[in-house]
Structure 1
Amino acid sequence: MTSTQDFATYIAGLPRILAGAAALFRDAEGRVLLVEPNYREGWALPGGTIESDDGETPRQGARRETAEEIGLDRELGRLLAVDWVHGAGRPPLVAYLYDGGVLADSDFAAIRLQEEELLSWRLVPREEITAHLPGALGGRVLAALDVLAEGSGTAELENGHRAA
């Protein structure tokens, strides 16, 4: 067996981890933009799976997914949160959440939903986040909003809760 085969065997035996990235967009009142997927119950943020086979980075994945899902192709701000989410019946997920910024009325008017994946969108105030985004995702959004209010840093999370 060659060293290339040994390395390939080693790589094939490593644990699998999913990676996703999303953007946190707000309006002038601080409400968060959520989207309603048609392939599962509940709400989500604009974002999705990082296409690592194509060499895509988390930031590039969040921007691509945002452009595909809601038609807004914009430079994203800083990384607000990284969340390690244990899987139930799936590998663990590492979720990256970037600052999409505050959108103007004209930005909201320009939203075009990806009909293959989304039914609708809405703006949700902080106090209703966990009602629309239960579990780790809701905690991730609240932690990201806290980071924005604090003015610096990135939240390190495990299952939507601060790890440190």
Structure 2
Amino acid sequence: MDLLPFDEYVRSLNRKRMSAGVLYYDHADRVLLVEPSYKPHWDIPGGACEAGEPPWRTAAREVGEELGITTTPGDLLVIDYLPTNDRFPEGLAFIFDGGTISGDEVKALEITDPEIVSAELVSLEDAATRLKPSLARRLAIALEAAHTRTLAICDNGVRARR
């Protein structure tokens, strides 16, 4: 077996896309969703990791840009493997714990990012009608992980192991 020269091997390594979001929820387990201006499905606060940016910094940056929330997100709740589809290469999605947020706090958010139309607290059942199915599954697992203080490993929104 011939080995590649190290630099050639490094260039051949697979690159994965990454995203990071933050789960905010209230005492009734409603979750905070944002309505993007650029796509049909709602989302959780967060977005794509930039080059050289770790997921936890992405999460903090995105909620700051989208919602003006400047507190650092808490523990990592979910790591989800996203398979290749017709539009995107395979990737990893991370969800961090944002903790509780009240309806009054959501109403007081000053959304200045043109990418976000609105933000709303909704039940998981309502969220499932607004989100892509894989994100709806991932979000339900994230809420459970927030309550149990565990990390969930998922495969396309399905718990892969405990």
TM surpasses 0.5: yes
For 1:15, what is the secondary structure of its paired residue? coil
TM-score with structure 2 setting the length: 0.88
| C-alpha separation in 1, matches of 2:99 and 2:29 | 10
Summarize the alignment of residues 6-155 of structure 1 with structure 2, pairs less than 5 Å apart: 6-53=5-52, 56-89=53-86, 90-105=88-103, 107-149=105-147, 151-155=148-152
Runs of 5+ consecutive residues of structure 1 not aligned to the other structure: 1-5
User: Residue 105 of structure 1: CA displacement?
Assistant: 4.7
Q: CA deviation at 1:110?
A: 3.6
Q: Percent identity?
A: 34
Asked if the contact 2:106–2:121 (Cα under 8 Å) also holds between the matched residues in 1, the reply is no
Deviations 1:95-130 (A, max 9, x none): 000110101355324412243211111111122221
Answer yes or no: is the 8 Å Cα contact 1:71–1:110 preserved in 2: no
2:154 maps to 157
Q: Is the 8 A contact 2:106 2:119 kept in 1?
A: no
The AA in structure 2 aligned to 1:72 is I
Look up the equivalent residue of 1:21 and give its one-letter code: A
Farther-moved stretch of structure 1 (120-129 vs 8-17): 8-17
Normalising by structure 1, report the TM-score: 0.87
The number of equivalent residue pairs is 156
Quick check: 1:48–1:65 contact (8 Å CA) kept in 2?
yes
Structure 2: 5+ residue runs without aligned partners?
none
Taking the aligned partners of 2:77 and 2:54, their CA distance within structure 1 comes to 16
Amino acid at match of 1:118: I
Do the aligned partners of residues 106 and 124 (structure 1) sit closer, same or farther apart at CA in structure 2, a change above 3 Å counting?
closer
For the aligned residue pairs, the C-alpha RMSD in angstroms reads: 1.6
Stretch deviating more after TM superposition (110-119 or 10-19)? 110-119
Aligned residue identity for 2:76: L
1:116–1:11 CA distance, 2 compared to 1 (3 A) = farther
Question: Deviation digits for residues 40-88 of structure 1, max 9, x if unmatched?
Answer: 11100000111233xx221111011000011111121111111001121
